[in-house]
Structure formats: structure tokens, C-alpha cells
């Protein structure tokens, strides 16, 4: 996959907390990094998650297909990217990558489907208007 020039990207530093006894980043941590990038992307467009929770709106990962190509290591700086590539009334489809900053090497890539749910019932619900506006602006 070519990296698109317009990808949203967020810088992340690898700390000792992210590593494991194999000397590399623990695989589940990349999911954290990707969620940070998605969070910062919506924040950069004016939507904060906490106000969502207060209005009974939450977002949950529904499906994920992920390829761990090469490991990140302690002290590395990486980019976590987030591109909205598809969406429906109640879900968002992201294409995401983890890229090592020093040499641009692709470490991890994933397709992630996030669903909008009602916090109390856990059931899918239409995204709030502010989020719909973001999605429309992106995919038009």
C-alpha cells in the first residue's frame, strides 16, 4: 500500500512500558497507538471523546485485521497514521499504519472498523451530527 500524502499522522515515542521481555514492543500496544491516532484525528476536527460519553455516545472497535511486519523498539519514534477510507451510518472504516520515523519503514498496518454505540445499551446508533460532518468532509 502506498502511503497517501494526506494521511493524518500522530507522533508516538516508545517507552519501556510498551516493551516486553522479547526486547520489542508488545504486540497489543500497537492497538493503543492506533486508537491514539484515531482519537487525535477526530480531536483535530473538533470532536472530543469525553463529551461524547457524557451524551451517551461511545465508539468501539468491531473488527480489525492487522499485520505486524517489523517491531518497534525502546526509544523509537513512530508515526501512527489514521485514514478514514469508508463509512456507514453507524460505523467508520480506517486504514492505519505504524511507521518508524527515522527511516520511514512500515512496521505495522491495519484495517479497523469502529462502530458508534449508545453507551448505556451497547447498541449501534447513528453517529452524532458533529461526527457525521467530519465523515462527510473527509469522503466528499
Which residues would be at the binding site for a copy of itself (CB under 8 A)? 13, 15-17, 19-24, 26-29, 31-32, 35-36, 39, 43, 48-50, 53, 58, 60-68, 70-71, 73-75, 119, 122
- CA gap 50, 35 in Å, rounded: 15
CA-derived radius of gyration, the chain? 16
Residue 83 designated active-site: no
**Closer CB to a copy of itself, 48 or 139, in the complex:** 48
Which of 20, 75, 86, 111 is an active site residue? 20
Q: Which secondary structure element, helix H or strand E, spans residue 64, and what is its range?
A: strand 57-68
- Min. distance of Cβ 82 from a copy of itself in angstroms? 13
Q: Identify which of 131, 110, 123 has the alpha carbon closest to the alpha carbon of residue 52.
A: 131
User: Annotated active-site positions, please?
Assistant: 20
Amino acid at each position: 500500500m502506498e502511503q497517501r500524502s494526506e494521511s493524518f499522522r500522530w507522533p508516538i515515542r516508545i517507552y519501556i512500558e510498551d516493551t516486553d521481555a522479547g526486547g520489542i514492543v508488545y504486540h497489543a500496544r500497537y492497538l493503543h497507538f492506533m486508537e491514539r491516532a484515531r482519537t487525535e484525528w477526530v480531536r483535530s476536527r473538533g470532536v472530543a471523546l469525553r463529551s461524547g460519553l457524557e451524551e451517551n455516545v461511545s465508539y468501539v472497535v468491531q473488527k480489525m485485521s492487522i499485520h505486524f511486519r517489523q517491531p518497534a523498539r525502546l526509544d523509537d519514534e513512530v508515526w501512527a497514521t489514521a485514514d478514514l477510507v469508508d463509512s456507514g451510518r453507524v460505523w467508520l472504516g480506517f486504514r492505519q499504519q505504524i511507521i518508524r520515523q527515522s527511516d520511514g519503514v512500515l512496521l505495522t498496518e491495519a484495517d479497523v472498523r469502529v462502530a458508534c454505540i449508545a453507551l448505556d445499551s451497547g447498541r449501534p446508533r447513528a453517529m452524532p451530527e458533529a461526527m457525521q460532518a467530519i465523515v462527510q468532509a473527509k469522503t466528499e
